Amino acid sequence: MNQHFTPYQISGIAKLLTYKNSLTPEADENRLPFKAALRKIPGAFKKKQAQSFINIFCEHLLADTDYDALQQNPIQYHSLQQDIEKMPLDSILKTITFIIWTDRSVEGYFYAKMHDKTLFYLLSRLESVFLQLRF
């Protein structure tokens, strides 16, 4: 984290990390293909967790809509998980922003990204970067 993050934003990141395990699919839902996950209606608990996560992300001013570069860069490693493991903090926040904003036009996108574990991998990387920083 650079000096351009406020204590309020740092607090928001800490709050987001508490959602890492609650935004993962149930064991029996792990095998859903992406298109099936788009159509799956999450349970009330998952809806509340997701909405709370999105609220914290936006209220703590972590959204970064400058994600054009992310869309132009192909996966550099063998998997999305490996790519995420190398992401810098700004790319993590841009990717989460992209997922949230895309869900507004493609209903179910956020939940599909829960099911394919993208959000779990992003939050795991965020946690790793966050813990390495000195404030």
At 77 the pLDDT is: 60
For the chain, domain boundaries: 59-134
* Listed residue (2, 105, 128, 103) closest to 53, CA to CA: 103
Q: 22 or 102: which carries more pLDDT confidence?
A: 102
Rounded Cα distance between 89 and 130, Å, is 8
At 71 the pLDDT is: 66
Average confidence (pLDDT) over 34-62: 84
CA-based diameter of the chain, in Å?
A: 42
- pTM of the entire structure? 0.83
